[in-house]
Amino acid sequence: MALCDEGYRCDRCREYVEDIRESELYLRYVLGVVPAEELPREPERHIRCATEFAQFIVDEGFPPVACDDPALDKKGLPAEVRAMQERIFTRAWRRLQECFESAIPMDEYPLRAEDLA
Ligand SMILES: [Zn+2]
């Protein structure tokens, strides 16, 4: 039995997404963008491969990613919008690491509005 055969491949680089810590789908779930019932139907990809989101994660534990689409590059955003996006995505990424390492039930993964304020 090969466990990896049951995993999901990234729809951008085609490598396996090993666990939720590197899953852009779960990052969006934590953000409340994807409802739980849609998780099995949505495409999976690495956070680092979704550069339009990954560029906003600013944490020592996450190697910085530059956006590969010039139209979506955070450098083109007003400073306050960029700061807000960085706060939201970094918070969500940290939440994802925390969820993976603890016994938090999956329906409690999503951040509440006050967590993002
Ligand atoms: Zn990938």
Separation of 8 CA from ligand 1 center, angstroms?
Answer: 10
Q: What is the pTM of this model?
A: 0.90
Distances (CA, A) of 41 to 17, 46, 58, 116: 15, 16, 29, 26
87: left (phi over 0), alpha (psi -120 to 50) or beta: alpha
The answer to whether 49 and 12 have CB atoms below 8 angstroms apart is yes
What residue segments make up the domains of the chain, in order of their start?
7-109
Tens digit of pLDDT for each residue in 7-49?
789 999 999 999 999 999 999 999 999 999 999 899 999 999 9
How many A from CA of 21 to the centre of ligand 1?
13
Ligand 1 centroid to 13 CA: how many Å? 4
With 60 as the cut, is the pLDDT of residue 1 above it?
no
pLDDT in tens, 63-91: 999 999 999 999 999 999 999 999 999 99
Strands 16-17 and 8-9: antiparallel
CA of 114 to the centre of ligand 1 (A): 31
Helix (H) or strand (E) holding 8: strand 8-9
Please tell me the predicted confidence (pLDDT) of residue 8. 86
